[in-house]
């Protein structure tokens, strides 16, 4: 019961502080002038938002997957024979799944930079 009362008290205090800061803050509604980019007093020449390369994103995702895979395959293990066999089998299974995924991406042309 004490935990529930503590939780409710913390929730009430934090929501009260949130609403107080929202009311007191000096921010006003956003206008067109505040949302536009500032370029030394001139109107912007081009759009400030550049398109993001999806190929770069895919390569970064593949790198992240292989990076996490290394942390899965190289754990600290005991010297018991059964644990080493289990580690070896799971490592091989993970490698096979990753190689099949890489092969699939390669065949679909996801790794090509120019199209």
Query: To which H or E segment does residue 6 belong?
Result: helix 2-24
pTM, two decimals, is: 0.42
Query: What pLDDT, on the 0 to 100 scale, is given for residue 57?
Result: 78
Divide the 115 residues of the chain into consecutive groups of 10 and give the mean pLDDT of each group.
Answer: 90 92 74 65 62 74 78 62 74 85 83 68
Residue 109 CB neighbours (<10 A): 8
- The residue to which tokens 């190689």 are assigned: 99
Query: What pLDDT, on the 0 to 100 scale, is given for residue 36?
Result: 66
Beta bridge partners, 42, equal 39
- With CA atoms as reference, report the closest residue to 36 among 27, 46, 28: 46
Query: What pLDDT, on the 0 to 100 scale, is given for residue 115?
Result: 58
Query: What pLDDT, on the 0 to 100 scale, is given for residue 91?
Result: 79
> In this structure, what token pair is assigned to residue 40?
């030394």
Query: What pLDDT, on the 0 to 100 scale, is given for residue 30?
Result: 67
Query: What pLDDT, on the 0 to 100 scale, is given for residue 106?
Result: 84
Query: What pLDDT, on the 0 to 100 scale, is given for residue 37?
Result: 65
């Amino acid at each position: 019961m004490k935990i529930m009362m503590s939780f409710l008290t913390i929730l009430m205090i934090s929501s009260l502080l949130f609403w107080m800061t929202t009311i007191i803050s000096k921010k006003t509604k956003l206008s067109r002038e505040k949302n536009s980019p500032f370029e030394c007093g001139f109107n912007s020449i081009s759009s400030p938002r550049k398109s993001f390369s999806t190929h770069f994103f895919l390569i970064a995702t593949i790198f992240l997957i292989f990076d996490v895979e290394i942390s899965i395959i190289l754990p600290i293990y005991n010297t018991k024979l059964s644990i080493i066999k289990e580690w070896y089998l799971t490592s091989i299974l993970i490698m096979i799944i990753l190689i099949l995924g890489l092969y699939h991406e390669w065949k679909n042309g996801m790794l090509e930079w120019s199209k």
